[in-house]
A and B are shown apart, each in its own frame.
Chain A
Amino acid sequence: MFSRDFLAGLMMLLVAGALFFDGRGLEFGTPEMMGPGFFPFLAAGGLALLSTILMVSGLAAGAPRLEPMGVRAPVMVILAGVAFAVLLDHVGALAATVAVVVLCALSIRDFRWKEVALVAIGMAALVGFLFVYFLQLPMAM
């Protein structure tokens, strides 16, 4: 397996690459008349260079390994965000709240259905009263 620093460098190299790729059409310009691409290219180039150095240093023997990562928690949190976004637009704040509570609770192993149900109902009531009714945020009940 790869070392922690190799993966850390790789991740930021991909970030630099993605942003550079999307901004590749921007005009670079000259130092006295900088184009919109001047800074993005410098920053992306700098990021890519530094990330590569980190990757190379991570190839050294005895570089620390990556500790085990949780997969369930990040996936569930992303799902909770997507569910919140979709349900808020198409159903309403109460459904979105319940979805976030349930999905967030599913990301831990020792969740208890009774507790989850109580928290979901309590939070839905609070959100409905405080944010939709009282503060009148622009969202449907």
Chain B
Amino acid sequence: MFDLLITNFSIGISAAFSPENLLLCFVGALLGTLIGVLPGIGSVATIAMLLPITFGLPPTSAMIMLAGIYYGAHYGGSTTAILVNLPGEASSVITCLDGYALARAGRAGEALALAAIGSFIAGCVTTFAIAFFGPALTVATQWLGAPDYFALMVLGLLAVIVLSRCSMLKALIMLMAGFLLSMVGTDLITAEPRMTFGLPELSDGISFVSMSMGLFGVSEIIANYAHGTEGRIITRKIERLLPSRKVMREALPSMLRGTGIGMFLGMLPGGGGVLSSFCSYAVEKKVSKHPEQFGRGAVAGVAGPEAANNAGAQASFIPLLSLGIPSNAVMALMGGALLIQGITPGPHVITSQPELFWGIVVSMWVGNVMLLIINLPLIGLWVKLLAVPYRVLAPMILVFCCIGAFSVHNSVFDVLLMMAFGVLGYLLIKLEYDPTPLLLAFILGPLIEENLRRALQLSDGSPAVFIESPISAVLLSLSVLLIVVALALDFRARRAAVAG
């Protein structure tokens, strides 16, 4: 077992540690922080905007660069949350609570360092977890047939819906819209164009890059422009960077607890960073001797959730790489990037392209190290960047988005499509829709369609096939149970809101 693990790691190390890949990971982490540090732009928006720059690269290098971008973006988001109290996304909301309080108390540098060190410790532990559990899950998937796959994807999508930021009904609407949009293009069986509105540019389907850049990137620019983010920016001199030994002793147990929580929740479909950081914050508050400090600058309130967030996000690579199921928006983007490279994420990746799988596992750790050694010393620079007004930065970002969308197929149609999705994304924000289920359904749509079609073809159209296969029966019952419980909780919360 250990021999195998070492062999596998050495494959990964030789893939990740080539000079070009190290450089790409470094550039990725730097660019990720550069964009992610901008107020109002979270890691999903950052990754969506930077996706196109990885497409010219071979798959392993592209994924390694994306891992770097992800770490950079996440760290940039934490920086904004701590220094400016502006969370770019749900998972940074928790960091704002105590991180900003620490920053106001003049301990911004320490808070940033704790975030980075917490992420690093979580990253190291989780890398090993992926190396262990990924292959084991892959072996288990050998027994899955078409009905089981269908049921597994249904369960994964429903889990995402239950955990989504908006109401269940709205999340289901986003899911259906994602399915519908994924069917635009040429039907794979009959080669008939479907819902392309007579546009030849849509015959290959809606460009994933245009859609994700528009929905998550351009929409944020519009929202920030329409409502303004100026005037809230604070710039402070960062005095002390490294936390004292006493602070570290206090933070270390929180980081380890956070890592455990994140690792467990991240492996579940629908899990990932957001859920993990919320859980970890709750746990830290419970176990703390001074719960009254939380919200007023508790060290554990930054260290625990940041570690949990990173462990959760990284562990959600396990369902993506072993089952082919992305469990959150970041993983959907990673899965989309793999699809564009011509690789369908799924159980076969680990056997047919071991250097890709193990390269990603190792590069996640490399991305973490890059973050610690380049970003911490550069903190002064990021703080200066925060002082650049948004009205100067936004046009620059928009130009890069346009060129990025153009460069994927060298087509201006994709630029127009991105802008249209940008406006749609802005409307979705205003109407309180969460676009994450849409993105996931868009990625999984073709797979669900294919597996359902195959399952029903083999059973001569009888839906009983989903109950006859025990695995599918269990998964579908779990899905039903999940929906019923969530609906009941939703209903109770709404009744409480009306009564209160």
Contact with A along B445-481 (1 / 0, CB 8 A): 0000100010011011111000000000000000000
Contact with B along A92-129 (1 / 0, CB 8 A): 00001100110011011011100110011001000100
B416 touches A82 (CB 8 A): yes
The residues of A that contact B172 with a CB separation of less than 8 Å are 50
Q: A43-B180, A78-B420 are in contact. Are A89 and B391 (CB under 8 A)?
A: no
Partner of A43, one of B183, B223, B403, B412: B183
A30 to B460, CA, bound (A): 10
Asked if B190 is at the interface (CB within 8 A of a chain A CB), the reply is yes
Q: A81-B419, A123-B395 are in contact. Are A36 and B180 (CB under 8 A)?
A: no
Q: A32-B460, A77-B218, A137-B410 are in contact. Are A67 and B399 (CB under 8 A)?
A: no
A40 touches B412 (CB 8 A): no
Binds A, one of B145-153, B194-202, B364-372: B194-202
Q: A81-B416, A97-B399 are in contact. Are A110 and B391 (CB under 8 A)?
A: yes
A43 touches B176 (CB 8 A): yes
A50 touches B416 (CB 8 A): no
Count chain A residues whose beta carbon lies closer than 8 angstroms to a beta carbon of B: 70
Count chain B residues whose beta carbon lies closer than 8 angstroms to a beta carbon of A: 63
User: What's the count of A-B pairs with C-beta under 8 Å?
Assistant: 182
The residues of A that contact B381 with a CB separation of less than 8 Å are none
Partner of A47, one of B180, B391, B433: B180
A53 to B189, CA, bound (A): 34
A69 touches B173 (CB 8 A): no
A40 touches B183 (CB 8 A): yes
Binds A, one of B273-281, B288-296, B339-347, B424-432: B424-432
Partner of A54, one of B170, B391, B412: B170
Partner of B449, one of A26, A39, A82: A39
B423 touches A54 (CB 8 A): no
A32 touches B173 (CB 8 A): no
A34 touches B456 (CB 8 A): yes
The residues of B that contact A31 with a CB separation of less than 8 Å are 456, 461-463
Partner of B423, one of A40, A51, A77: A77
A9 to B407, CA, bound (A): 35
Q: A31-B463, A73-B226 are in contact. Are A8 and B432 (CB under 8 A)?
A: yes
Partner of B394, one of A43, A53, A104: A104
A77 to B402, CA, bound (A): 11
A115 touches B391 (CB 8 A): yes
**Chain A at the B interface: mostly helix, strand, loop or mixed?**
helix
**Chain B at the A interface: mostly helix, strand, loop or mixed?**
helix
A40 touches B180 (CB 8 A): yes
A138 touches B419 (CB 8 A): no
A36 to B188, CA, bound (A): 9
Q: In this complex, what residue of A is CB-closest to B419? A: A81
A130 to B398, CA, bound (A): 16
A72 to B218, CA, bound (A): 14
Asked if B379 is at the interface (CB within 8 A of a chain A CB), the reply is no
B431 touches A80 (CB 8 A): no
B194 touches A47 (CB 8 A): no
A101 touches B399 (CB 8 A): yes
In B409-444, the 8 Å CB interface with A consists of: 410, 412-413, 415-416, 418-420, 422-423, 426-427, 430-433
B427 touches A11 (CB 8 A): yes
A56 to B418, CA, bound (A): 31
A78 to B418, CA, bound (A): 9
Q: In this complex, what residue of A is CB-closest to B448? A: A39
B195 touches A22 (CB 8 A): yes
Pull 19 A–B residue pairs with CB atoms less than 8 Å apart, ordered by A: A19-B180, A26-B192, A35-B190, A39-B183, A40-B180, A40-B195, A69-B430, A70-B222, A70-B227, A72-B226, A78-B423, A81-B420, A88-B406, A100-B395, A104-B225, A107-B226, A108-B391, A115-B391, A138-B410
Given contacts A70-B225, A84-B415, 16 further A-B contacts (CB under 8 A): A9-B173, A12-B173, A22-B195, A47-B173, A66-B431, A73-B223, A73-B426, A78-B420, A84-B402, A84-B412, A85-B413, A85-B416, A107-B226, A108-B391, A138-B410, A139-B406
